[in-house]
Protein backbone atom coordinates (compact mmCIF):
# COMPACT_ATOMS: atom_id res chain seq x y z
CA UNK A 1 0.00 0.00 0.00
CA UNK A 2 1.33 3.41 -0.90
CA UNK A 3 1.47 5.67 2.10
CA UNK A 4 2.22 9.38 2.04
CA UNK A 5 1.70 9.74 5.76
CA UNK A 6 -2.07 9.67 5.39
CA UNK A 7 -2.74 6.03 4.51
CA UNK A 8 -3.44 6.98 0.90
CA UNK A 9 -4.10 4.07 -1.44
CA UNK A 10 -3.23 4.46 -5.08
CA UNK A 11 -4.94 2.73 -8.00
CA UNK A 12 -3.31 -0.63 -8.50
CA UNK A 13 -2.38 -1.05 -4.84
CA UNK A 14 -3.45 -4.46 -3.53
CA UNK A 15 -6.37 -4.45 -1.10
CA UNK A 16 -5.13 -4.16 2.44
CA UNK A 17 -8.20 -5.78 3.99
CA UNK A 18 -10.81 -8.21 2.67
CA UNK A 19 -13.53 -5.55 3.01
CA UNK A 20 -11.62 -3.34 0.53
CA UNK A 21 -12.97 -5.66 -2.16
CA UNK A 22 -16.58 -5.29 -1.09
CA UNK A 23 -17.49 -2.44 -3.49
CA UNK A 24 -16.16 -4.48 -6.41
CA UNK A 25 -17.92 -7.66 -5.30
CA UNK A 26 -21.17 -5.76 -4.79
CA UNK A 27 -20.91 -4.21 -8.26
CA UNK A 28 -20.10 -7.59 -9.83
CA UNK A 29 -23.40 -8.93 -8.48
CA UNK A 30 -25.72 -5.93 -8.56
CA UNK A 31 -24.90 -4.66 -12.06
CA UNK A 32 -26.01 -7.90 -13.78
CA UNK A 33 -29.10 -7.96 -11.54
CA UNK A 34 -29.98 -4.40 -12.55
CA UNK A 35 -29.40 -5.23 -16.21
CA UNK A 36 -31.65 -8.29 -15.96
CA UNK A 37 -28.84 -10.68 -16.83
CA UNK A 38 -29.90 -13.59 -14.65
CA UNK A 39 -27.22 -15.99 -15.87
CA UNK A 40 -24.35 -13.61 -15.17
CA UNK A 41 -25.87 -12.48 -11.87
CA UNK A 42 -26.18 -16.08 -10.70
CA UNK A 43 -22.64 -16.85 -11.84
CA UNK A 44 -21.24 -13.83 -9.98
CA UNK A 45 -23.24 -14.59 -6.83
CA UNK A 46 -21.91 -18.14 -6.81
CA UNK A 47 -18.38 -16.90 -7.50
CA UNK A 48 -18.33 -14.43 -4.59
CA UNK A 49 -20.76 -16.12 -2.18
CA UNK A 50 -18.01 -17.27 0.20
CA UNK A 51 -16.60 -13.73 0.38
CA UNK A 52 -19.88 -12.17 1.54
CA UNK A 53 -19.73 -12.26 5.32
CA UNK A 54 -23.42 -11.51 5.89
CA UNK A 55 -25.56 -14.48 4.91
CA UNK A 56 -28.60 -12.22 4.97
CA UNK A 57 -27.14 -10.24 2.09
CA UNK A 58 -26.71 -13.47 0.12
CA UNK A 59 -30.38 -14.22 0.79
CA UNK A 60 -31.30 -10.74 -0.47
CA UNK A 61 -29.38 -11.26 -3.71
CA UNK A 62 -30.98 -14.70 -4.10
CA UNK A 63 -34.41 -13.09 -3.73
CA UNK A 64 -33.63 -10.55 -6.42
CA UNK A 65 -32.38 -13.29 -8.70
CA UNK A 66 -35.51 -15.39 -8.17
CA UNK A 67 -37.66 -12.37 -8.98
CA UNK A 68 -35.83 -11.85 -12.27
CA UNK A 69 -36.33 -15.54 -13.04
CA UNK A 70 -40.06 -14.95 -12.44
CA UNK A 71 -40.11 -17.28 -9.44
CA UNK A 72 -42.23 -14.82 -7.50
CA UNK A 73 -43.15 -17.22 -4.69
CA UNK A 74 -39.49 -18.06 -4.10
CA UNK A 75 -38.53 -14.39 -4.28
CA UNK A 76 -41.23 -13.48 -1.79
CA UNK A 77 -40.02 -16.17 0.62
CA UNK A 78 -36.42 -14.91 0.41
CA UNK A 79 -37.41 -11.27 0.87
CA UNK A 80 -39.70 -12.13 3.77
CA UNK A 81 -36.78 -13.94 5.39
CA UNK A 82 -34.63 -10.83 4.89
CA UNK A 83 -37.25 -8.51 6.35
CA UNK A 84 -37.87 -10.70 9.39
CA UNK A 85 -34.14 -10.94 10.08
CA UNK A 86 -33.76 -7.17 9.68
CA UNK A 87 -36.51 -6.58 12.23
CA UNK A 88 -34.88 -9.05 14.62
CA UNK A 89 -31.53 -7.29 14.22
CA UNK A 90 -33.12 -3.89 14.70
CA UNK A 91 -34.92 -5.01 17.84
CA UNK A 92 -31.68 -6.61 19.01
CA UNK A 93 -29.85 -3.31 18.61
CA UNK A 94 -27.90 -3.77 15.39
CA UNK A 95 -28.74 -2.18 12.09
CA UNK A 96 -27.74 -4.63 9.33
Confidence band of 89 (pLDDT split at 50, 70, 90): confident
**pLDDT one-digit tens code per residue, 24-80:** 999 999 999 999 999 999 999 999 999 999 999 999 999 999 999 999 999 999 999
Residue 13 counted as domain residue? no
Give the structural domain span for 84.
20-92
Residue 34 counted as domain residue? yes
Residue 46 counted as domain residue? yes
Residue 8 counted as domain residue? no
Confidence band of 1 (pLDDT split at 50, 70, 90): very low
pTM: 0.74
Q: What is the dihedral of CA 57, 60, 65, 66, to 10 degrees?
A: 140
Residue 7 counted as domain residue? no
What total of structural domains would you count in the chain?
1
Amino acid sequence: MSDFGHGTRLPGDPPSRPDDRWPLIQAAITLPLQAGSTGLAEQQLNRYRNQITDELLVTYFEGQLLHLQQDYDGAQQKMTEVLKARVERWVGGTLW
